[in-house]
Copies of this chain bind each other. A is one copy, B any other.
Amino acid sequence: MAETRQWRLASRPVGEPTRENFELVTVARPAPESGEVLVRTLYQSVDPYMRGRMRDAESYAEPWDVGDPMRAGVVGEVIESNYDGLEPGDIVAGELLWAEHAVADGNDLRRVDPDHGPISTALGVLGMPGVTAYFGTTDVAEPKPGDTVVVSAAAGAVGSVVGQLARLSGARVVGTAGSDEKTAWLTDELGFDAAINYETTDDLPGAVAEACPNGVDVYFDNVGGPITDAVWPLLNVRSRVAVCGQIALYNATEIPTGPRKLGKLIESRARVEGLLVYDYENRWGEALSRLSRFIADDELRYREDVVEGFENAPDAFMGLFEGENIGKQLVQVADRND
């Protein structure tokens, strides 16, 4: 009987996730029922939001049960199909499992055309992170020509796209990131006007203020915590804050505290708004079409950080919280041509 491997949630993390929270199990390969397909995973995504699903608390994404396989964005190859419109050999993307093979309803999969570029991008710049960046920028942050835009985790899968889209809107773009390699990528390759390595900066508020002499019109926040504290006092009148992620706080074991922020909003009449890509599921086509065009015109660049081997998926996930990735963090589970 054909088998496959899955990563399951072995226990809920307290603070930083550790390898003990994950269990690798070998199970019978599932069979697709009517309307379903069997997908062989080629690339699996690891994303910061998954930390929330490891927690036993209601949020926008349902928590995973201990003992169950975890879910992930996957790009894979259809190897068996009981769904009209998908054939073995087709490349698809969707939310499947941390698994080498998984079954999905054909209606829940997007077809990926390998002629349009690397199929892995369906998990990054042309997938959930890219679409998040797109709507977070166009619909929430709304950068305008001449605006100063600050992006935290600017070298990440979302932040790197946000910064480039803001630049295309005519804004001046400042990014924060955690290594000199990242800040060099932002300024030398992606056209950011300035980038701050928060790991090597003694005076973060001073560094952000220096990089933003005209204050901040848009802050796109992927991080929270002290970086956000440094940006906050610079918010201009009628500025916008798009809250997309708070990775600095996801492993907290107590309720995180910090400087109170609402008073500044009165003075600045700033608008602060959270965003979730799920709210835009009917508009993915718009985002993918514009992002693809920008890539084709070399106005939008991206980078992928690929860990090889399904057995390394937990390490790839845990590395997100150490800031190890540049661009989109992926796990290559299998080669399409094998």
Using CB atoms and an 8 Å cutoff, list the residues of chain A in contact with chain B. 59-60, 221, 224-225, 228, 243-246, 249, 255-276, 279
**Are B259 and A255 in contact, CB atoms less than 8 angstroms apart?**
yes
**Residues of B close to A268: CB separation below 8 A:** 274
Q: For the complex formed, measure the closest distance between the CB of A205 and the CB atoms of chain B, giving whole angstroms.
A: 12
Known: A257-B257, A258-B257. A270 touches B263 (CB 8 A): no
* This chain: copies in complex: 2
**Are A266 and B245 in contact, CB atoms less than 8 angstroms apart?**
yes
Q: For the complex formed, measure the closest distance between the CB of A49 and the CB atoms of chain B, giving whole angstroms.
A: 9
Can you list 27 A-B contacts with CB-CB less than 8 angstroms, sorted by A residue number? A60-B267, A224-B260, A224-B262, A224-B263, A225-B260, A228-B262, A243-B266, A245-B266, A249-B260, A256-B259, A256-B260, A257-B257, A257-B258, A257-B260, A258-B258, A258-B260, A261-B262, A264-B274, A265-B274, A266-B274, A267-B274, A269-B274, A269-B276, A269-B279, A270-B273, A271-B271, A271-B272
**Are A243 and B271 in contact, CB atoms less than 8 angstroms apart?**
no
Known pairs A224-B263, A246-B260, A262-B272; list 8 more (Cβ under 8 Å): A59-B267, A221-B262, A257-B257, A257-B258, A257-B260, A265-B272, A268-B274, A272-B272
A263 and chain B: residue at smallest CB distance? B246
A259 and chain B: residue at smallest CB distance? B255
**Residues of B close to A279: CB separation below 8 A:** 269
**Are B256 and A265 in contact, CB atoms less than 8 angstroms apart?**
no
Q: For the complex formed, measure the closest distance between the CB of A144 and the CB atoms of chain B, giving whole angstroms.
A: 18
Contact among B264, B266, B273 with A271 in the assembled complex (CB-CB below 8 Å): B273
Top 4 A-B pairs, shortest CB-CB distance: A265-B274, A266-B274, A272-B272, A256-B260
In the docked arrangement, what's the CA distance between A291 and B224, Å?
41
Most chain B beta-carbon contacts within 10 A, residue among A268, A273, A274: A274
**Are A273 and B262 in contact, CB atoms less than 8 angstroms apart?**
no
**Residues of B close to A59: CB separation below 8 A:** 267
In the docked arrangement, what's the CA distance between A290 and B127, Å?
49
A248 and chain B: residue at smallest CB distance? B260
A274 and chain B: residue at smallest CB distance? B265
**Residues of B close to A244: CB separation below 8 A:** 266
